């Protein structure tokens, strides 16, 4: 655990979150500032800075993907579809440096990125 990391502190129960799914290795909770009717963050419980670091831990990466799919299913998104986003680094707009998959859906989401 990184004591300076917001999401590590959520995993530790030090900061509250609305948890919607949990496995031994992952946690999923609602984004505090949702950008769509469904906006859930899926994280590995272990600290990885970003998706590049997560990719070096294939077991954790697979667990995050499986949990993301389970959240999408539980939130009723698999019929009409949804978006799974890993913002990475400054150009990617990453603000919290504990890797997280955004599961976003519940309405048409428009273009993938702004031009």
Residue number, 77 or 86, with CB nearest to ligand AMP: 86
Per CB under 6 A, residues contacting ligand AMP are: 6, 15, 17, 29, 31-33, 41, 87, 93-96
Q: Please check whether residue 98 is in contact with residue 47, taking contact to mean a CB–CB distance below 8 angstroms.
A: yes
Q: Which is nearer to ligand AMP, 42 or 60 (CB)?
A: 42
14: number of Cβ within 10 Å: 11
Say if CB 110 and CB 88 are below 8 A apart. Answer: no
First CA to last CA distance, the chain: 38
Of 29 and 63, nearer to ligand AMP (C-beta) is 29
Measured at CB, which residue is nearest to ligand AMP?
Answer: 87
Q: Which residue has the tokens 């979150």?
A: 17
Q: Does 98 qualify as catalytic in the annotation? A: no
Residues marked active site are found at: 100
């Amino acid at each position: 655990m990184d004591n300076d990391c917001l999401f590590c502190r959520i995993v530790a129960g030090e900061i509250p979150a609305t948890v919607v799914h949990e496995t031994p290795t992952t946690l999923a909770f609602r984004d505090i500032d949702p950008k769509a009717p469904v906006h859930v963050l899926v994280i590995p419980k272990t600290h990885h800075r970003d998706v590049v670091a997560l990719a070096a831990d294939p077991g954790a990466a697979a667990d995050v993907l499986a949990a993301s799919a389970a959240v999408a299913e539980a939130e009723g998104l698999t019929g009409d579809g949804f978006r799974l986003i890993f913002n990475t680094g400054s150009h990617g707009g990453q603000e919290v440096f504990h890797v997280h998959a955004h599961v976003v859906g519940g309405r048409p989401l428009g273009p993938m990125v702004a031009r």
